[in-house]
């Protein structure tokens, strides 16, 4: 799957931060899963979890603002 990231990720990057600014109002589209920015974020997390060891590196290279959803730590 990683070999297709170069084709997929630029398109996801365009829509990653596309969220509605509702101010103080309540956005009910969150319950219906209609918010494109949230769907892209969820898709990136799925790609990272199931894309293998280097998936996070490829995603971070193509989408610099992406933050990993996987906790990585080292034991001393």
- Cβ-contact 16, 65 below 8 angstroms: yes
In a domain, 15, yes or no: yes
**What are the tens digits of pLDDT across the range 28-64?**
666 666 788 889 999 999 999 999 888 999 999 999 9
CA–CA separation, 27 vs 36, rounded Å? 13
pTM of the model: 0.75
User: In which residue are the tokens 């109002």 written?
Assistant: 25
Total domains, the chain = 1
Q: Is residue 70 part of a domain?
A: no
Domain hosting 23: range is 1-62
Domain-located, residue 3: yes
């Amino acid at each position: 799957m990683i070999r297709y990231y170069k084709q997929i990720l630029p398109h996801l990057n365009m829509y990653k931060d596309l969220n509605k600014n509702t101010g103080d109002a309540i956005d009910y589209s969150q319950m219906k899963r209609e918010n494109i920015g949230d769907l892209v974020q969820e898709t990136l997390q799925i790609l990272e979890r199931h894309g293998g060891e280097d998936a996070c590196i490829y995603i971070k290279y193509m989408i610099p603002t992406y933050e990993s959803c996987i906790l990585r730590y080292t034991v001393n």
